[in-house]
A = this chain, B = another copy of it.
Amino acid sequence: MKIRVYYEDTDLGGIVYHSNYIKYCERARSEVFFKRNMSPTLGENSGFVVRNIEADFLATATLGDMLTVDTSVLSVKNSSTVLLHEIWKDEVKIFSMKVVLVYIAEGKPSRIPDIFKEVFQSY
């Protein structure tokens, strides 16, 4: 997953505003579904929500940079999964984040549908 840094992503420090890296990771998670002509949700009241993140901001990115987001699956349980996202600028890792996602249906944690488990296993 390639992501270009645009004006909207930067702040007055001239670098990408910190929480935008977290948005880039969400784009990468969703893109895996879109690439398969799937949606990451099965209707209005279900989908993955972020429960916990641990993120390290290792270096900076600036306007025009082309970044790469790598995603790997650390674990898949009944109703949750843990992913690792790493963002690279050429050969330099600039961001790393572990995210815990919980699958919600009808407002509460629920079994991840098999169709979604297969997507995670294909990463």
**Which A residues fall within an 8 A CB radius of B?**
4, 6-8, 10-15, 17-20, 22-23, 26-27, 30-31, 33-34, 39, 41, 47, 49-57, 60, 62-64
Contacts and interface: CB of A to CB of B under 8 A. Distances in A.
15 contacts: A4-B31, A7-B12, A7-B13, A7-B26, A7-B30, A8-B17, A12-B12, A12-B62, A18-B26, A18-B50, A19-B22, A30-B64, A33-B64, A49-B60, A52-B56
Chain A interface, >50% SS class: mixed
- State the number of copies, please: 4
B22 A64 contact: no
Q: Which of A12, A17, A53, A60 has the most CB of B within 10 A?
A: A12
